[in-house]
Structure 1
Amino acid sequence: METGIKNFARAVEASAIMELLPARPRVLALGEPTHGEDTLLELRNALFRQLVEEDGYRTVALESDCLRALTVDAYVTSGEGPLDDVMMRGFSHDWGGSQANRELVRWMRDFNADRPADDRVRFAGMDGPLEITGAESPRQALAALHDYLTAHVHTELLPCTADRLHDLLGADAPWTDPAAMADPSQSIGRTPEARELRLLADDMVTLLETQAPHLAAVSSPDDRDRAHLYGRTAVGLLRYHSWMADTSPARMTRLLATRDEMMAGNLLALAARRPVLVHAHNSHLQRDKSAMRMWGHPKVEWWSAGALAGTRLGDQYAHLATALGTMRHQGVDTPPPDTVEGILHALPDLQYVIDAAQLASAARRIPAVPRVSPYFGYAPLDPSHLPRIDGVVYVRDVPHD
């Protein structure tokens, strides 16, 4: 069926993307339908370089641990540490082994080499210190926040001592026990100690706010931003651990929603300073509700980080959803013609970007149905989401790396 979309397909370049949008967004969200494919990451790298050089973007945020990412940011801004060690310690989800991620970090370091501090590109993680199988201890975030406050405010204002934090936290192993994700009884997230830690974290974050004029006078913007990051992460982690101990039917919904709320908080904080390109799964960036099934649970739905941040930012948030044609090494073959991917696959271009409104119009004329994925790690584009997407990046084939 002739859809006419070939008239709207453009090369995946920063200039073509900006033409789709009413203005340069504070958050440009590039979603991917599957993880771990360097073809998609290489496209991200090329787009980020263009956004830096042509549109003034200076931050990239990945779906990776926000605290680990501080190691990468230190490297790209100052060359701190050997690259091999940075890649190993600076990424979560085992993504430090990706060659495309390594090339991104290397390029950022080279770009920054001779630039003043206020013009350097920065690296960030949008995710909390979480994996699908569990969560980290809040120790790092709580201790770092306490250290910052100890250095800059009067001792009598602190809600507790460092020793008290240490005693309440106990050993890290119970916090990180993977059994707690499937069995709430194994979680320590609602013990008396954990409840006290939540109150103390809240008090320390409040202290950051109530002492803001003083802290602005005695510490750098980067140090204050980092302290707020530690505060958001400590509060979010303790909330996440609390929901891991929950036994209600809403447990998984609460966990997924809490994770995305942490992501949204990180995105909004980054956007407050400078425009940012964020790269994560489409399910974390879309404006529609996200949904998934896991471990035998009924389907759960929650609002993604993109939906939350987009509500706050309005047209300063833009979502580009990446769709793919084939990924044969995972059993994903040529898409059926009555799917969004099938419409896009009718063009011969290997990669292109298209206005989502024009694609939505073509999808309605067919009408398009959702593609069914034979591979659990790939989420096709839902035709019903097109009206709330700003643009679609299409990659015809994702070969085996």
Structure 2
Amino acid sequence: MDTPQTPRFAWWKRLLILTVTIVAVVSIYRRLDLGTLAAVLRRTDAAWFAGAMLLYGLLIVAAIGRLHLALRLTDSVVHLTVTARSVIIGHFFSVTLFGAGVGDVARSILYARWYGFRFPIIYASAKLDRLMGFLGLWLLVGATLAFGAAEGAFSGGAMSLNFQVPEVWKWLAGGTVVVLAAAVFFSNEAFRVGVRHFLEAMIEGARRLVRWPRVAAGGILLGMIVQAGLCFVIAVCLRAVAQEPLNWLKLLWLFPFIHMLSALPFTVAGLGLREAAAITLLGLYGIPKEEAAAAALLTLVVAASWAAIGGLILWRERVVLRRADGQPAAETISVVMPVLNEAGELPETLRRLRGLPEVLEIIVVDGGSADDSVRVAEKAGCRVLRSPAGRGRQLRLGAG
């Protein structure tokens, strides 16, 4: 069986991350004037903070498009609304399960279990999604560094960071990772099989990226948009608390690095790391540390708010599935599909539905598509109805 059980995280790992988080938070905030920090937070500009919330929602839309492309590359698309729910639920997992990597695993498990796919295939889609995001991030880093250089952001000896890791520690850390990875790999047959399936799906997906450069370019562009959105959320939160005018063109290159450092899976939701990165890097240009810390806290609130929405969607999905499990299965069913400009996804969705023996008929209710959705549905032998746009109206018409 390819799909693993719900992941369980050892108590000592959770305890370690919580301990690191507490140490990081205490070490950062003990250096701040908490009264000044509270005053900075009280003067937060509500309009700019609302803008940060809206911007985060828009970047989630871009993330939905990116994951949808990755799922198409591994032939595991169900529907755009399914992808949307998966992305928001995945964000909830990333915030609550200590990082995007673990969040990808949890989201892939649920997607595979709920929609009947093999876990390694879905996990490979998640990795392709991350790959496109990673490439987009480094395009963004290059662009912002070039912008900063053009604006003289690196002149005047402002850069003073020079952290050096002793060579012995580099070798020790690298060797430890290799030994642990080898021990896990060679001691677990299920893990080996899963890794093999994962690599096969990744290789096939990479081939498709090469074969379909438009899809690859679109995914990387969406990845860059998502990463830019995450960085601009930090910038907007800084604008919400800053008292003095800021030279944004000089500061622009800092935000990708603050984002990357806060995304490291060492603390809960980046607590402590985000503040440390913001205080250190923004401090290079004279921004008060209390303002930098306040911007980091507001960024956390924005991310956690959207994660809460993901948690509610996950709860609703579980309730719906639990109710469905308690009902006797019908021998045959009629499927009602509300569509609007979905000619690209419709053939694959219809093909999968036709493969289910319980499906007696498929009723496609079109909400006024401007593309070939109706023609595709009619060609596939579906019963086609027309309705004003609106999922509720379309579903009611189809059910009636």
Q: TM-score, normalised by structure 1?
A: 0.26
Bigger helix fraction: 2
TM-score after normalising by structure 2: 0.26
Greater radius of gyration (CA): 2
Query: Which of the two has greater strand per residue?
Result: 1
